[in-house]
Structure formats: C-alpha cells, structure tokens
Amino acid sequence: MQERDFIVTGMSCTACAARVEKAARSVPGVVEAQVNLVTGQMHVVSTEESTVQDIIHAVQSYGFGAEEKKSVAAQSKPGGRRGWAVAASVLLLIPLVALHHVVHGAEWAQAVLALGIAGLNYRFFTRGVRTLAEGDPGMDALVAMGSGVALADGLVQLCGGGSGAMFLESAGMILTFVSVGKWLEARATRRTGQAVEKLSRLLPEVATVVREGEQVQVPTAQLQVGDCLLVRPGDRIPADGTVLRGVSAADESALTGESMPVEKRKGADVYAGTVNMQGALYVHVAQRQEESALSGVIRLVSNAAAQKAPMARLADRVARVFVPAVVAAAGVTAAVWWACGAGWDVALARAVAVLVVSCPCALGLATPVAIMVGAGKGAEWGILFRSGEALEAAGRASCVALDKTGTLTRGEPGITDVQPHGCSREELLGLAVALESGANHPLARAVVACAASPAAAVADLQYIPGRGVRGSVQGDSCAVGNIALMHELGAEAQDPAELVEQGKTVLHVARGKQWLGYLAVADAPRESAPRAVKELRQMGLRILMITGDNVATARAIGVRVGVQEVHASAMPRDKEEVVRTLQAQGERVAMVGDGINDAPALVRAEVGIAIGAGTDIAIESAGIILMHSDPMDIPRALQLSRAILDKIRQNLFWAFIYNVLMIPLAAGVFYPVFGWLLPPAAAAVAMGLSSLCVVTNALRLRNFCPTEHSVSP
C-alpha cells in the first residue's frame, strides 16, 4: 500500500469534497480517499496499480484542480471566490439595487447588470449544472438553481413583454452575497491553518552545501543523505543530521519547547528548523528534509483532520442526502403556494429562497474547522493528534491508564537518600563513586551521576553478580552492594524498613568489615506527576497505574503521585488485558505509555497517548503524541480534546437548528400566523452568515487555555 497527499482546488462545500473522494475512489487500486475541506488536501491510500496521474485526471474530470503534494510544508488555500470577481460583483450590484428601487422602467439595464454578475460567478452555473446532470448536486447547484431561475424568469418576461414581478436584483444579490460569504469564509478558514504555516516557515528554503571544498547554495528540498552542510550563526538548520566539526549551541524551543539552548559539538545530533546560536557548524545530513522530525510534526498537524472523526462522517452522510431533499422541498413549496392561489412570482420567490437558504456549507464545516484549529493549538503546546478519530476518542475518555516508568517517573534511577555512618557524606559518596565508575548498569550510573569530584583509583575491581562490587581504594578493601554482600563481608548493616516500603533500592558501603552507611536509589516521580494526577481526577476521570515493576515499588510510587488503583508486575500482554477488562466494564480508556511494552495496550485502548521521547513503536501505536516528558500534558491534551468536541457539538447543533428554522421560514410556513417571509436576497445573506459563524466559533479555540478544576463531562 502507498499513501499519497494531494492539493485539491475548487471545492466550496461538503458535496464538493464528497465528489472529489468519489472521483479518487473510482481509480483502480485506490483503497481509500479522504478529503479535508478546510485545508484543501486529499489523503489517498492505494496499491501500486494506481498512479499519481490517474488520480489527478480522475479528480480533474469532475471539475476540480489537483496536484500531488510534493513537500510536507506545501499548503493549499481554502476554497473560496476570487477576490477581484467578488469586488466586481459588489460594484455591479450597487447600481442594480439602485435601479430596482429608485428608477422604474430600467429593467433592461437591470438585466445587463445581473448578467454581468452571473458572468463573474459563472462557476456556480458550470459546476452546478454538471452536478445536477450527474445526480450529485451540491451547494453550487442550489445557488445556480436559485439565481438561475430568478434570472431566467426575468429575461423571459422582458423578451415576452411581461409586466409581472421580476427578481433580477434578487438573482444578482444571491450570487454576490454568496460569493462575498464564501470569500469571507475562506479568509476566516485560512486562519485555521496558521499553526501549520508557522511550523512550515521554520524550514529554510536554501542550504549551504560544502562540495569539494566549495560552498554551494542548494534548495533544501534537494538535499541528500550524506551531504555536508555549513550552518552559520543565526541560521536555521536545514535538515536533521550530526555535527562533523564546530562548537555551538542550538535553540531547539520550536521542536522541544525547552527554552535553554543545547550545546552542540562533534557527534551531537541537530534537527531541522532549530537555530544555530553561536559558532559555525559543519553538519552531516542524516535525513532528507521531508523525513526530519519537524516535518513529521507538520505532517501530523496538517493531516489531523484528514482521517475523519465519527462526527464528521455522520455530517457527511446527512449532507449527501440533504441537497436532493432541499430541491424536492423547493418544488413542493412552489407547488403549494401556486395551489393556494398565489401568483407565479410569489411561488417562485419562495422556491428560490428555500434553495438558497439551505446550502449545507455550515454542516460540512462544523467538524473539520474545529479539529484543524484545535490540532494547531495542540501543536503549539507539543500535543500532536494523529487523526480526528483519536481526538474525538480522547474527548470521550472516562478512564486514564498510566504506565509508571518514563511516564509518571523519570525513567532512570537517581540517588534519593544518603545516610553516612561513622564517616562524612563526602567520603561515603566518594567510595561509592570510585567503585561504581567502571560499571554500566543503571544503579551504577545513578551513583556516578552524583560525583562532585573525579573518582579515586580502584585496584582489584571485582563484580559480584546480584550483590555488588568490591575493590581496593587507597589500599583499603571496600565494597558497595546490597545487604547480602554486607553480611558476607561481616559488616553489620540493616536495610531501613521505611525506604524498602517505598520501593527504593538500598546500596550499602563498607570499608573492610566497617559499615560506612548507605545510599538509596529510586526512579523518582516527575515533579509534575502528582499535580497531573490530581487534575485528571478533577476532570472526573478514573485513574489507574499499570507497570511491570514489583508491587512494593509500584504502590510506593502510586502513593507519592496520588494513584490508588495500581496493577503491578504486568507484562505487555497483561497491560493489554487490563485495558480489555476496563473496556468490558464500560470504560472508554486512554492509555499513556512510552515503551515497546506499552504498545499492545496503546493499540487496544480507545486512544493511545505516547509521552515524551518514547520508542518508535510506542509512537506508531499511539493516536496522540506528547512531545515533552511532562505529565501535565496528559490533562492538557484531554481538556483540549473536550474543548474541541464541545465546539463540534455547538457547530453541528447550530448548523442543524439553522436549517430547521430557516427552511420553513423561507418556504413561508410562518406566513399565515406571523406574516413572516424571507426574501431570496436575505436567504443568501443568512446562508453566508451561517458558514461564517461556524468558522468563527471554531476559531475561538485559538484562545483556549487549559485550566485546573475542570468540570467532568
């Protein structure tokens, strides 16, 4: 299977997106095609049987433009009207309305102006007629039918010498107002992709490559693995790679969120989009630009809404049957008014109003714009949603299952307690560091990390598996190890019960038979872990911890971070089974982990969340990726997901309510009781405002900030 992305132009509503998907799926070998109306992009999954040109030709045959998205940073403009055509339509509409209301007997002048507006907006008619002929009408068809019928009626009356009511100005107003509305909608929608645009601008367009001793300027898209780059101070690094020579510091805040510059010298990894702060660096390219870490972030954000959430699929199904139903409703409306004795002009006005007011644009935009804005906001915090489905699942989660090591804890042991006995603290640590300096196991690294001075020389070093290490320091026989080693040496030592209960590993130090004290080593909780757990509980979520560590350690960490429900000694299959059991109890599980052993549970859960610098397998198994190793990002991600879901619900509610209220109003249902009628031109304004309101409501997510004491759903 191959996955390709395309930029599609000319779409203006959900029906357009559905037609593009239909066109792509008609190509032999295409398994799936999903269009993002907001970004104007299409994601296609296909076999090698289908080619890029086959897919492009299929989309073009349906009246849309298409091209392969060759760069991850490439963006398309949302569908909308051409600015100059919109401006010209407005300029023609002003005298048209003035002639209609002020000058009598200027019908032919009105007809000329209305025809001019129709010519400027000819795409409504060409595409509308085509979709009607194919039995798959959309917004363009409704606008074309509404304005076209009004315009044709006026022209027929003029040519036949009729004197009835004409709707020439209504035809012009419909086309102009809809065009203005789509133009404003496109401008607002374009703001939904600003996060992607900001990320894309971090990738430089040109790189300095050193070839045969000469410096050559090369487009970064043409960089190859193995190229040698010269990155001057202040320049952005064009591709992921390794420093060959030079010493500097890099600002990696755009990628990691960390404000402190990171020192770079020979052998250090550098990343595309980060800034070289000080000295010149020569960098060996390890990944092409489109394969860089930053490009992966851009790809995740821009494709977040491509795989549609269940809510979006529901809206699409409704929209597909909505337009034919509206056409039928317009016909019934005209027939009823005619049968009730109203004139042809009244019946026509009601039918046109129904056609224009009920365009399903707001319904189609309700979900993707909210997901796009929310995904962009999440990217600013280092929270990446892989799909709309993962986002929706996170918003509906009722239970959070947390891995311990690397998620709630730092993932590596550190010294937590130092207790000398008959010697100074410095002497105790000095002996321990000297003996452990040659070892490579995690406990030894934890001890060595606390060294304040170079380690003393050790002779006759001997490792005792399962117990510790012995050696001669300045002529004295010394040892570091567990209580069993101390008893073997004859040193009187005892494990402190309170530290053992906390799940800490105790390392004793002895010189000869003299016990000098102990060090306690543990994988300490991250500083923000207790606050994150408290916040998750405030959100009304059930919290539990699943870990492969022993029961004592797991319970001790659980107490320290505030998790009461603990599942310890869990193998990967056991973690998956715990998630399965929770689901059987009716829970919607969000599983958070960072390792290979978490992958089965991440896949089994409704949504998997990979935290920090997790393994590639964990990241690929997760629906949400937290780029930082901060547990507080877990409640932030879930709060943002809930906020996005709320916006989607609001948008869908108002889109449905709009049609429930406006279609009867346009049809004249309320006229016998209240005398209310909706003129065709007002219907066009209402339709445009409905779409604009949906987009504007979604844009409010840009100001969303996570708060404590969240209310449970």
By annotation, the residues acting in catalysis are: 403
Q: How far is CA 657 from CA 213, 319, 662, in A?
A: 69, 14, 8
- Alpha helices by DSSP H, listed for 247-288, are 253-256
Angle at 164 between CA 161 and CA 165, to 5 degrees: 130
CA gap 579, 589 in Å, rounded: 7
Strand partners, 458: 473
**Alpha-carbon 275 to chain mean position:** 24
CA gap 169, 154 in Å, rounded: 10
- Cα torsion angle, 594, 595, 596, 600, sign: negative
Strand partners, 282: 230, 245
- Alpha helices by DSSP H, listed for 212-292, are 253-256
Contact 569, 548 (CB under 8 A): yes
Q: Cβ of 477: how many Cβ atoms within 10 Å?
A: 15
Residue 627: CB partners within 8 Å, gap ≥ 6? 255, 256, 257, 297, 382, 383, 384, 612
Amino acid identity for residue 143 in this structure = V
Diameter of the chain by CA atoms? 122
* Closest of 277, 234, 240 to residue 255, by C-alpha: 240
Q: Cβ of 274: how many Cβ atoms within 10 Å?
A: 24
DSSP letters along 231-286, please? E-TTPBP-S-EEEEE--EEEE-HHHH---S-EEE-TT-EE-TT-EE-SS-EEEEE-
**Alpha-carbon 9 to chain mean position:** 22
Burial of 90 (C-beta count, 10 Å sphere; 0-12/13-18/19+): middle
Q: Cβ of 49: how many Cβ atoms within 10 Å?
A: 11
At 370, list the tokens: 């909210």
Q: How far is CA 219 from CA 127, 232, 288, in A?
A: 39, 16, 12
Q: How far is CA 303 from CA 116, 298, 307, in A?
A: 40, 8, 7
Query: Exposure pattern of 279-297 as b/e (b: 16+ CB <10 Å)?
Result: eebebbbebbbbebbbbbb
* Closest of 481, 494, 484, 497 to residue 447, by C-alpha: 481
Q: Is 270 helix (H, G, I), strand (E, B) or coil?
A: strand
CA gap 232, 252 in Å, rounded: 16
